[in-house]
Amino acid sequence: MSQIESNKQLESRRILLIIGGGIAAYRSLDLIRRMRDRGWTVKTILTRSAVEFVTPLSVAALSENTVHLELLSLTEESKMGHIELARWAEAIVVAPATANLMARVAVGMADDLATTVLLATNRPILMAPSMNLEMWGNSATRHNHALLQGRGMEFVGPDSGDLACGEYGAGRLAEVPEIIAAIDRILHRHLTASSLAHKRFLITAGATREAIDPVRYISNHSSGKQGYALALALRNAGAEVILVSGITTLPAPAGIKTLAVTSAREMLSACLEQLPVDGAICTAAVADWRVAEAAPQKIKKIRDQQTLTLELVQNPDILATLSHHPSRPDLVIGFAAESESLIANAKIKLAAKGCDWIIANDIAANGAVFGSDYNQVAIITAAGVESLPQMTKLEVANHITQRIISHFNPAGGVK
Q: Could you give the CA distance from residue 189 to residue 13 in angstroms, rounded to a whole number?
A: 13
167 CB neighbour count, 10 Å cutoff: 11
Identify the bridge partners of residue 275 per DSSP, sorted by sequence position. Answer: none
Dihedrals phi, psi of 409, to nearest 5 degrees: -135, 70
The active-site residue out of 165, 271, 282, 355 is 165
| Pairing assessment for the beta strands 159-162 and 168-172 based on DSSP bridges | antiparallel
Sign of the CA dihedral with 300 first, then 305, 311, and 316 last = positive
* Rg for the chain, CA atoms, rounded: 24
DSSP 165: T
Determine the Cα angle at 197 with ends 145 and 223, to 5°. 35
| Pairing assessment for the beta strands 257-260 and 240-245 based on DSSP bridges | parallel
Q: Which helix (H) or strand (E) holds 233?
A: helix 225-236
Q: Is 355 a catalytic residue?
A: no
Measured torsion, CA atoms of residues 291, 297, 303, 306, in degrees rounded to the nearest 10: 10
Active site residues: 165
